[in-house]
Amino acid sequence: MKTKLAILACTILFLGCTTSWVKNQNRGNALGTTYSIIYMADGPLDFQREIDSVLQVLNQSLSTYIPTSDISRINDGDSTVVVDHMFQEVFEVSTQVHGASNGYFDPTVGVLANAWGFGPGEPMNLDSLKVDSLLKYVGWEKVRLMGDRTIQKNHPGIRFDFNAVAKGYAIDRLGALLDTKGIKNYLVEVGGEILAKGTNVVSDKKWTVGIDDPQVETGRQLKLIVSLEDRAMASSGNYRKFRIDTETGEKFVHTIDPKTGYTKNSHVLATSVVAPNCAQADAFATAFMAMDLEDSKMVLKEQGQLEAYIIYLDDEGNTQEFMTQGFAELIVQ
């Protein structure tokens, strides 16, 4: 009898410790792209209302496509705007990556992004004189976040463009939302940028994500598949974001060199960066698109928490790949 009771007690204990995981997912459109949020719990959940709230606050702070947003008002010359913690954190990440990249990451390129046709403003017919005239409005050293959380600009014509970091930051904020809900295992994806926490406990595997082949012009083909756990990954490339001049047929890519003012058709085709948070990953992936490969390698040596995969063309036009050892260890064979 005692043996049967012991077996029954062990069985009850075992069943009590076994979690039947449920995969919950929210999808939608935001920040000019799509998002997918997968989170595991011991029952069905729906955080759509909270997700919408985070995205709404983010847009009101950082979207250049909303005329009444904080960033739009600042761009239009309103020096009385007191920025929220989201704007402040994005400003601080931008300052860090600007310094680490020797100035190649610079969100004051807003006036140039508009002029080249990659912002809310009207494209301009640019020549060297016009580009030089716009460069006086570019330079991270020309803006400051003051103690009262207002923004001071050296010239009212300076315009912020946080598009190269805001998407990654949005992912971090959505991850923070899930953290506050006690969710330990989730995958947040916005426009191809990723934040992975824990594992896919339903399949008992790490989260796996794909990296697009930048040389496939139509459709999508994966170049690599990597596994992520408690890390973020962002990718950047000129293979999807470009503009063709309807009169000349000339191709203008979305990567702008803040030092020259021109869009940069460099040998670098695409970059993927793995970092502790997605804002950093997003910003560094953009910076590496504007930098020469050897300079990017130096930054990666100095930044111990970054891993990267860079696809580029050599001097003969052949496709080559560079990856850090840490990134190579993430590849799913």
Q: Does the model's pTM come out above 0.75?
A: yes
pLDDT tens for 30-82 read 988 999 999 999 999 999 999 999 999 999 999 988 999 999 999 999 999 99
More confident residue, 114 or 243: 114
Query: Under a CB-based contact definition with an 8 Å cutoff, are residues 167 and 33 in contact?
Result: yes
- Tell which residue, 322, 329, 307, 175, has the closest CA to residue 233: 307
pLDDT of residue 254: 54
Q: What is the mean pLDDT of residues 176-190?
A: 98
Say which CATH architecture domain 22-328 belongs to. Answer: Roll (3.10)
Query: Under a CB-based contact definition with an 8 Å cutoff, are residues 241 and 33 in contact?
Result: no
Q: What is the mean pLDDT of residues 257-275?
A: 83
- The secondary structure of residue 274, as a DSSP letter, is E
Query: d(Cα 235, Cα 107) in Å, to the nearest integer?
Result: 17
More confident residue, 82 or 315: 82
pLDDT of residue 190: 95
pLDDT score of 130 more than 80: yes
pLDDT score of 239 more than 70: no
- The secondary structure of residue 331, as a DSSP letter, is B
Q: Where are the alpha helices (DSSP H) in 76-230?
A: 85-100, 110-115, 128-134, 163-180
